[in-house]
């Protein structure tokens, strides 16, 4: 028979084991609570981050907040996220069949010019060469007449009239997603145009008008010549931009030509000079190295 002392020792050991089990259970409970709390915080953080990533959009990529049909034009103020390549070209059935250049109400031409011919314009030759001589070097251009005949028709008309001669390139962007030099405004303020407007062509005409893809970015590759616009239909005018690094834009800017190697070297030199910070930020403003178009003519 166990003595009273032995019974007390046994009870004591049993109580100690119970207390140890309770302490261990309490430690596990606290640990699980901490883990649960951390996990909850991480889930919240993850949800916030995911929301930011999924909903983070750059500001309006139109050239201007103005929704009128002004043709003063502008390249977008902020680049959207990186996108796919430009779509393959497929000639629309009516390509170049009815080019129209209506007068822009309330907007006088910034420099005297006669509007280009209207109606059917040829898509042959497919390529038209042009030379742009600037104060910083020469820029050779190949105009894609087979892809954007109405645009080339306007650009060639203005060039033949000396519209671009002795005018500045007023805007340079140097951000990672948007790297362009913008020209074609005789006023040098980004508000000038020829007094008429016309519709987008490639790549916009590769989509249905209500296609959501028109709001998604695509890559305008280095060496692209494209039209600036306000984002409104029919708001192309005289302003154009030269892409010196791959740039991300919605496909609402007519790509109507390419830039030769000499021209890209000239653009690289201009870009290396930097930007005079403007209203759009430190990487978007007038080029620090002033750029003046001395002449722009077809070869």
Q: Domain map of the chain by residue range?
A: 1-56, 84-298
Predicted TM-score (pTM) of the model is 0.75
What average pLDDT does the chain have? 82
Model pLDDT, residue 278: 86
CA dihedral sign, ordered 96, 102, 103, 107? negative
Regarding predicted confidence, which is higher, 80 or 147? 147
Instruction: Name which of 32-36, 104-108, 185-189, 237-241 the model is least confident about.
Output: 32-36
What pLDDT is attached to residue 182? 98
Q: What is the pLDDT of residue 26?
A: 53
User: Which has the closest alpha carbon to 110: 77, 139, 70?
Assistant: 70
Whether the pLDDT of residue 46 is over 50: the answer is no
- Give residue-wise pLDDT tens across range 175-224: 999 999 999 999 999 999 999 999 999 999 999 999 999 999 999 999 99
pLDDT for 216 equals: 93
pLDDT digits (tens, 9 = 90+) for 105-145: 989 999 999 999 999 999 999 999 999 999 999 999 999 99
- pLDDT tier at 47, thresholds 50, 70, 90: very low
Gap between the Cα atoms of 244 and 259, Å rounded: 9
More reliable by pLDDT, 93 or 72: 93
Q: DSSP states of the chain as a string?
A: ---HHHHHHHHHHHHHHHHHHHHHHHHHHHHHHHHHHHHHHHHHHHHHHHHHHHH---S--SS-S--S--------SS--S--EEPPPP---TTTTSSB--PBPTT---SS--PPPP-B-----SSEEEEEEEETTEEEEEEEETTT-HHHHHHHHHHHHTTTTTTEE--EEE-BTTB-EEEE--TTSSS----SB-B---TTGGGS-TT-GGGGS-EEE-TTEEEE---SSTT-B-S-EEEESS-EEE-S-S-EEEEE-HHHHHHHHHHHHT-EEEETTEEEEEEESS--EEEEEEE-
Specify the pLDDT at position 52: 25
Task: Look at residue 45 and tell me whether its pLDDT is greater than 50.
Answer: no
Query: Looking at domain 84-298, which of 2.60.420.10, 3.40.50.720, 3.60.20.10, 2.40.100.10 is its CATH number?
Result: 2.40.100.10
- Contact between residue 231 and residue 64 where contact means Cβ atoms under 8 Å apart: yes
Mean pLDDT of 145-160: 98
Q: In the predicted model, what is the mean pLDDT of residues 259-287?
A: 96
Cis peptide before 256 (omega within 30 of 0): no
pLDDT surpasses 90 at 6: no
pLDDT of residue 17: 55
62 pLDDT more than 60: no
């Amino acid at each position: 028979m166990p003595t009273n002392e032995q019974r007390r020792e046994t009870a004591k050991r049993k109580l100690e084991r119970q207390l140890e089990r309770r302490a261990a259970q309490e430690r596990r409970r606290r640990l699980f609570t901490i883990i649960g709390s951390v996990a909850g915080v991480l889930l919240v953080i993850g949800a916030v981050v995911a929301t930011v990533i999924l909903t983070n959009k750059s500001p309006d990529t139109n050239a201007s907040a103005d929704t009128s049909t002004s043709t003063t034009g502008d390249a977008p103020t902020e680049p959207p996220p990186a996108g796919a390549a430009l779509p393959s070209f497929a000639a629309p059935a009516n390509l170049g069949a009815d080019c129209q250049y209506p007068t822009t109400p309330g907007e006088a031409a910034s420099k005297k010019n006669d509007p280009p011919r209207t109606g059917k314009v040829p898509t042959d030759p497919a390529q038209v060469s042009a030379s742009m001589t600037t104060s910083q070097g020469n820029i050779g251009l190949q105009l894609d007449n087979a892809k954007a005949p109405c645009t080339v028709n306007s650009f060639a008309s203005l060039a033949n009239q000396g519209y671009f001669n002795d005018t500045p390139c007023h805007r340079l962007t140097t951000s990672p997603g948007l790297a362009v030099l913008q020209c074609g405004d005789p006023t040098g303020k980004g508000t000038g145009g020829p007094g008429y407007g016309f519709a987008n062509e490639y790549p916009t005409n590769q989509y249905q008008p209500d296609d959501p893809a028109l709001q998604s970015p695509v890559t305008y590759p280095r060496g692209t010549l494209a039209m600036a616009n306000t984002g409104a239909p029919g708001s192309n005018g005289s302003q154009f931009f030269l892409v010196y690094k791959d740039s991300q834009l919605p496909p609402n800017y007519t790509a109507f030509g390419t830039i030769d190697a000499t021209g890209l070297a000239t653009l690289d030199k201009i870009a290396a000079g930097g930007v005079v910070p403007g209203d759009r930020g430190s990487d978007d403003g007038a080029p620090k190295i002033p750029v003046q178009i001395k002449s722009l003519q077809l070869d």
